[in-house]
């Protein structure tokens, strides 16, 4: 429980400068949850991109492969 409280307090410390109103424990918990979900999504995208690197949506800057 103490570790969880420390994470909530740390989250407040990091994020408070971006908010006019004082962050509550509930606000911090929501930030933690949202950031966890966001990082999970990025990890999934990264994994999918690595598995399908041949299907990249980012165009190559390789001049040899250009048809023009």
Say whether pLDDT at 38 is over 60: yes
Q: Using CA atoms, how far apart are residues 54 and 49, in angstroms rounded to an integer? A: 9
CA separation for the pair 30, 12 (Å, rounded): 11
The proportion of the chain whose per-residue pLDDT surpasses 90, expressed as a percent, equals 59
Q: pLDDT per residue over 43-61, tens digit each?
A: 999 888 888 776 656 666 6
pTM of the model: 0.66
């Amino acid at each position: 429980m103490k570790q969880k409280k420390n994470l909530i307090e740390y989250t407040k410390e990091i994020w408070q400068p971006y908010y006019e109103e004082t962050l509550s424990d509930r606000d911090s918990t929501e930030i933690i949850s949202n950031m966890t979900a966001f990082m999970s999504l990025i990890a999934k995208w990264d994994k999918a991109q690595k598995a399908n690197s041949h299907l990249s949506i980012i165009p190559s800057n390789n001049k040899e492969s250009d048809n023009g």
